[in-house]
Amino acid sequence: MPVSPGFGPADEAAAHEAWASAARSSTVFYPPRPLGVAGWTRTYRTALMVLGGTLAFAVAWSNPDKDTYHSNWLIWTAVAVLLGALSGSAFGSGLARRGEVNRVLRISHWQTMPAIVMFLLLATVAVVSSKFFIGSGLTARGVLLTAIAVVGALPAGATLAALRCLALRGFTGTPGEQLAALIKLRRVLKRVLQLLGSLLVFIVLVNAAAIGWGTANHLDEAAVVYTGAAGTLLVGLMYVPTSALLRRRASIFVSQFVDLAHAPRERLVEAAEDRAKLEHLLGLDHTTLGEIQAGLVIVSPLLASAAAALLPRF
């Protein structure tokens, strides 16, 4: 088979190397970026879940009716342990969300302390006032399980308070940096709402699992309905002001950087479409009540409590 003169194996290797060098010079390789997560942070959430589940199991084990009503006790204990584990996970996740807010703009713990104290006071009032609705069904074990859930919700409450402070203060930087901050904070707000809603659902389920059994202090459906309603009101009081302030901050941003009044006539429709897209991205086309109804995160405990109370009648 004839071979082209002057082109041997050495020349072929040189040509291949030249092609590879050109390919390397014309291609930009982006190495994967590290997550920036320290070694201890990879395990502390698991440790918090185990701690919360263990504390909840210890509370359930103290029930004197665990042998007499064993099957009922097992169901109640399983839900209680899940509540404890979820509280531990919510505590860790709340700390992470608080860190995300600080990466946008640092908010000191002293600025969020009044909101945390108010949250604890409202939770205490809700537990104490439940005596008038639940009566003798309110036990120390119920109070302790509620306390575990409240402790798990504290970092999420601090995150909402930090978001509120940040929305009041405002942002600095380029329009792109401010837009990125608003998008990030709205995502944090949504995740915090999901955390609190999940905790409320499991508090309601714990009360529902305790209905109708025990040698004393029987729990009835009123406890489930009250728990869902009180929890819904408590989370709503924390979430609604923060969401409204953040939406107001986003509205100011849109009005500042997307001005339809001075847009050229030939770009008027395009500018209006850009503004509508930006408003949708920042959630300005929804009200706070609409977000709650769409997500069914806050109202789900109330719906679950009503279902738990009404279904046994049929």
Residue 61's pLDDT band, with cuts at 50, 70 and 90, is very high
Evaluate if residue 164 carries a pLDDT over 80.
yes
pLDDT per residue as tens digits for the range 20-54: 665 555 545 556 666 555 556 667 888 999 999 99
The CA angle 233-239-243, to the nearest 5 degrees, is 140
What the block records as the tokens of 83 is: 């509540």
Rounded to whole angstroms, how far apart are CA atoms 203 and 21? 63
65, 214 contact by CB (below 8 A): yes
Q: Is 24 exposed, middle or buried (0-12, 13-18, 19+ CB in 10 A)?
A: exposed
Residue bearing the bigger pLDDT, 268 or 119: 119
Res 71: pLDDT: 86
Evaluate if residue 128 carries a pLDDT over 90.
no
Res 4: pLDDT: 46
Q: Poorest-confidence range of 30-39, 105-114, 256-265?
A: 30-39
Grouping H, G, I as helix, E, B as strand and the rest as coil, residue 295 is helix
Q: CA end-to-end span of the chain, whole Å?
A: 91
Evaluate if residue 144 carries a pLDDT over 70.
yes
184, 104 contact by CB (below 8 A): yes
> Residue 203, Cα to own-chain centre: how many angstroms?
16
Grouping H, G, I as helix, E, B as strand and the rest as coil, residue 179 is helix
Rounded to whole angstroms, how far apart are CA atoms 204 and 184? 31
Evaluate if residue 293 carries a pLDDT over 90.
no
Evaluate if residue 281 carries a pLDDT over 70.
yes
pLDDT per residue as tens digits for the range 205-220: 888 888 877 776 677 7
> Which residue matches tokens 């600095």?
172
DSSP letter, residue 41: G
What the block records as the tokens of 72 is: 């009922």
Q: What's this model's pTM, rounded to 2 decimal places?
A: 0.78
Rounded to whole angstroms, how far apart are CA atoms 77 and 302? 22
Q: Poorest-confidence range of 1-5, 152-156, 171-175?
A: 1-5
Which distant-in-sequence residues (6+ apart) come within 8 Å of 218 by Cβ?
A: 136, 137, 212
160, 112 contact by CB (below 8 A): no
Which distant-in-sequence residues (6+ apart) come within 8 Å of 81 by Cβ?
A: 53, 56, 57, 60
Percent of the chain, pLDDT > 90? 21
Residue 118's pLDDT band, with cuts at 50, 70 and 90, is very high
Res 54: pLDDT: 94
Mean pLDDT (whole number) for 280-307: 62
pLDDT per residue as tens digits for the range 183-197: 899 899 988 988 888
Evaluate if residue 2 carries a pLDDT over 50.
no
Percent of the chain, pLDDT > 70? 73
Rounded to whole angstroms, how far apart are CA atoms 76 and 150? 19
Res 35: pLDDT: 58
The CA angle 230-126-225, to the nearest 5 degrees, is 35
Rounded to whole angstroms, how far apart are CA atoms 30 and 47? 35
Residue bearing the bigger pLDDT, 175 or 258: 175
CB neighbour burial string for 175-195, b if at least 16 within 10 angstroms, e if fewer? eeebbebbeebbebbebbbeb
DSSP letter, residue 203: H
Evaluate if residue 302 carries a pLDDT over 90.
no
Residue 117's pLDDT band, with cuts at 50, 70 and 90, is very high
Rounded to whole angstroms, how far apart are CA atoms 201 and 304? 7
DSSP letter, residue 137: G
The helix/strand count (H/E) of the chain reads as 10, 0
